[in-house]
Amino acid sequence: MHKRALTKGIFALSFPLAAMSTVQAAAPELTAEEMDRANTIYFQRCAGCHGTTRNGATGPNLLPETTQELGQRRLESIITLGTEGGMNNFDGILPEEDITLISKYIQHDPVDPPEMSLADMKERWQVFVAPEDLPTEPQHDLNWENFMVTILRDRGAMGIIDADTKELVTEVETGYAVHVAKESSDGRFWYVQGRDGRLSKIDLWMDPPQVTAEVFIGYDARDVAVSHYGEWKDKYVIGGSYWPPHFVIADAETMEPLKVVSTRSYDTEGNFRNEARVAALYNTPHAPTFLVNVKESGQVWQVDYSDIDNLRIDQMETAEFLHDGFFDPTGRYFQIAANMSDKMVFIDTETRKLVSMLETGTKPHPGPGANWVDPECGPVAGTTHLGEGLLTFWGNDPEGHPDQAWQICDQIETDGPGLFVRTHPDSPHVWIDQAMHPEPDVNQWVMVMNKETRELTPIHVADRPLEHDAVAVHMEYDQTGTEVWVSIWARGEGHQNDGAIVVFDDKTLEVKAVVEGLNTPTGKFNVYNRKHHVG
């Protein structure tokens, strides 16, 4: 019951949206029912980029003083066609009446969303399988270390796919629009954070894999991380919330919420940010700390979990607006995008200090990122960009190649903006998607770069007739490092179950297999590779 309520929007739990709205004279009229539906659409499709309170972040603000000036016709055009600056088109994703509705909705004043206390979280904490009742060995004979833990975004589930057989093992019910999945130190348990605030723990040893415990840590949330260091290994899980803006530390065994910390703070210019959202969370390999990336403040918080009753937080001022990131191969240096500042930010997690910042291009977005060795620059890392078709890569070996460290090695133009870049230490290639371009002739293709020559080879992933909106997005290698899995994210209204994953031979670039019939597949996480930090 509560899952359905939350996917209707963050306000549905506490009070009717219409009762809180202030209708401005210049705003188009909407009924209470229309306002509630528009709120659902905004939560599901818009809030991540434009903010819960519509103050803007990766995307511009959608406040009445801006939207009313643009007018209904122009707003509908932007939402329908997208922009070259990185906003995807919603033509084919939303029906015309919904595009008209959301264009009217964003001309009204936003409402103040509710808060959530630790007591509220504990009321919605559930243990489905007690820790003492969990299996002591795998209950199936499948190669679970080669499972692909796959986000089925709009389905509100994770698809567990056997990469050996290319078959779907099961679909595990989780929160809506999961952003990422993080593993326990042995790879057995997976923690996923839904956009609706539902933080779930999945046991891959069960037959079939299933959720063993869950807790809701917010109304709009994004990321999760698990403690992997020393005596605290697999002791804590941290969930990050967009609204309310806070992070929550929970018991990683039972998912009981233990501590909540607000991230409301000041940005790099000293302006107070009431909506300072947790964009991404990571465990640091060399210290008992989590990295908390506070989007609107431009601060990276390194949170020491060795004593959560006396929490130590080191705050590093960087640049707005922080998003996703990844570690260098040593696990010491963290590389994160501040996409609206057009910068990559580099953190030394051992000294807990900012090392450098680098301007890369319009709105960098590395996703899980990619590290490889370039023949000229030595060890490098790269990012795609939300705002332009560009792969930028830089040196990231300050000890062995100090002259190249945190400096651009090269920039390679692609056909359009993308979300993800991925590689493998044994691969000759770097794979780059172009998912943010509004045209199918671009977003259904990926680029494959040769590491030695830096030459690009275009690959048409959606090579079957697709009359509806679908993009090629997110790459992941299998356990052997010889296969690359690319999602076809079918987003068109009524066609969500037409999604698939296309499996390529990494050396020949030929299709090996297609996993069909998946509902809005996006990110995929190979158990072995993530457990061993490969790529």
In this structure, how many other beta carbons lie within 10 angstroms of the beta carbon of residue 413? Answer: 11
Distance CA 142, CA 164 (A): 9
In this structure, how many other beta carbons lie within 10 angstroms of the beta carbon of residue 132? Answer: 5
Q: Is 50 a catalytic residue?
A: yes
Distance CA 189, CA 198 (A): 16
Q: Is 49 a catalytic residue?
A: yes
Which uninterrupted H or E stretch holds 483? strand 483-490
Which entry of 179, 246, 365, 385 is annotated as an active-site residue? 365
Which entry of 1, 35, 49, 377 is annotated as an active-site residue? 49
Q: Is 255 a catalytic residue?
A: no
- Cα-flanking dihedrals φ and ψ of residue 423, to 5°? -150, -175
DSSP structure string for 134-182: S-SS-SS-S-GGGEEEEEETTTTEEEEEETTTTEEEEEEE--TT---EE
Which entry of 35, 50, 179, 228 is annotated as an active-site residue? 50
Which entry of 87, 316, 340, 344 is annotated as an active-site residue? 87
Distance CA 134, CA 152 (A): 25
Which entry of 108, 228, 246, 323 is annotated as an active-site residue? 323
Q: Is 409 a catalytic residue?
A: no
DSSP structure string for 206-252: SSS-EEEEEEE--SEEEEEEE--SGGGTTTEEEEEEEETTEEEEEET
Strand stretches in 329-444, DSSP E: 333-338, 343-348, 353-359, 364-374, 378-385, 390-395, 408-413, 421-423, 429-433
**DSSP label at 10?**
T
The two structure tokens encoding residue 9 = 């929007």
Q: Is 460 a catalytic residue?
A: no
Distance CA 193, CA 195 (A): 7
- Nearest 5°: the CA angle 135, 141, 146 is 95
User: What residues act catalytically?
Assistant: 46, 49-50, 87, 323, 365
